Structure 1
Amino acid sequence: MIFPNDLINLQKIYDQVIGEIHLFKESIILIKAWCYYESRTLAGMSCSLISPDLGSTSLLCKQTFLSPKIGILRYNSRQDLQFRDSIKFSGKKSRHQQISRVSSPNLCRTRSLVINCSDNPQNVDLPRYYSKKEKKPFPVPIVELRRAARERMKSSKGQPKRSAPPPKNGLLVQRMIPLAYAVLNARTSLINNLNKLIKVVPVQACKYCNEIHVGPVGHPFRSCQGQNSSIRNGKHEWVDARVEDIFIQIEAFHLYDRLGKRIPHEERFSVPRLPALIELCIQAGVDLPDFPTKRRRKPIIRISKSEFIDADESELPDLPPEEPKPVLLAEIPDREIIPPSNEQEILSLAEETLQSWEKMRSGANRLMKMYPVRVCGYCPEIHVGPTGHKAQNCGAFKHQQRNGQHGWQTAVLDDLIPPRYVWHVPNLQEPMLQKELRNFYGQAPAVVEICVQAGAAVPEQYKPTMRLDVGIPSSVREAEMVV
Structure 2
Amino acid sequence: MSHWRHKVWRHLSSFHGASYSTRPSRINKTMLNDLRRIRPMIQRRIENRAKDYPIQEIVPVAKDILKARQNLLTNVTVLLKAFPVLRCKFCSEVFVGKEGHLIQTCRSYIRRGNNRLHEWVPGSINDVLVPVESFHLHNMSQGVIRHQQRFDYDRVPAILELCCQAGAIHPEEILEYAKVHDNPQISDEDIRSIPTEDLKYVGANALTAWEKVRAGLKKLLLVYPSKVCKRCKEVHVGPSGHKARLCGVFKYESYQGTHYWEKAGVNDLIPEKVVWHRRPQDPLVLVNEGRNYYGHAPAVVSLCSHAGALVSNTRYACEMKPQGLSYPLSN
What TM-score do you get using the length of structure 2 for normalisation?
0.77
Q: Quote the residue 2:58 is aligned against.
A: 176
Conserved 8 A contact 1:204-1:240: yes
Distance 2:327 2:197 in 1: 33
Say whether 1:348 aligns with 2:201. yes
Structure 1 residues 233 and 365: CA distance shift in structure 2, 3 A: closer
Q: How does 1:131-280 map to 2 (within 5 A)?
A: 169-226=51-108, 228-230=110-112, 234-280=116-162
SS in 2 for 1:359: helix
Deviation track 1:72-106 (CA, whole Å, cap 9, x = no partner) reads: xxxxxxxxxxxxxxxxxxxxxxxxxxxxxxxxxxx
Distance 1:373 1:195 in 2: 29
Match among 214, 220, 224 for residue 371 of structure 1: 224
Q: Size of the alignment, in residue pairs?
A: 279
Deviation track 1:295-322 (CA, whole Å, cap 9, x = no partner) reads: xxxxxxxxxxxxxxxxxxxxxxxxxxxx
Match among 281, 285, 302 for residue 163 of structure 2: 281
- Structure number having the greater helix percentage: 2
Distance 1:385 1:228 in 2: 36
Distance 1:428 1:195 in 2: 27
**In the TM superposition, what is the alpha-carbon distance from 1:225 to its structure 2 partner?**
2.3
Q: Quote the residue 1:332 is aligned against.
A: 184
Conserved 8 A contact 1:167-1:371: no
Conserved 8 A contact 1:280-1:371: yes
**In the TM superposition, what is the alpha-carbon distance from 1:469 to its structure 2 partner?**
3.3
Percent sequence identity over aligned pairs: 35
Q: Quote the residue 2:31 is aligned against.
A: none
Deviation track 1:378-434 (CA, whole Å, cap 9, x = no partner) reads: 111000001000111111245454621100000111111111001111117843112
Question: Which one has more relative contact order, counting CA pairs under 8 Å at least 6 apart?
Answer: 2
SS in 2 for 1:409: strand
Q: Quote the residue 1:471 is aligned against.
A: 325
The letter for the 2-side match of 1:413 is V
**In the TM superposition, what is the alpha-carbon distance from 1:287 to its structure 2 partner?**
2.3
**In the TM superposition, what is the alpha-carbon distance from 1:179 to its structure 2 partner?**
1.2
Structure 1 residues 227 and 409: CA distance shift in structure 2, 3 A: closer
SS in 2 for 1:433: coil
Structure 1 residues 224 and 456: CA distance shift in structure 2, 3 A: same
Match among 415, 423, 441 for residue 294 of structure 2: 441
Distance 1:233 1:366 in 2: 40
Conserved 8 A contact 1:188-1:331: no
Structure 1 residues 202 and 176: CA distance shift in structure 2, 3 A: same
Distance 1:207 1:379 in 2: 21
Q: Which has the larger radius of gyration?
A: 1
Structure 1 residues 450 and 266: CA distance shift in structure 2, 3 A: same
Distance 1:412 1:384 in 2: 11
5+ unaligned residues in a row in structure 2: which ranges?
A: 1-44
Which stretch shifts more, 243-252 or 425-434? 425-434
The letter for the 2-side match of 1:281 is C
Distance 1:236 1:446 in 2: 17
SS in 2 for 1:370: coil
Deviation track 1:356-398 (CA, whole Å, cap 9, x = no partner) reads: 1001110011111110110001111000001000111111245
The letter for the 2-side match of 1:259 is S
5+ unaligned residues in a row in structure 1: which ranges?
A: 1-162, 294-327, 477-483
The letter for the 2-side match of 1:338 is D
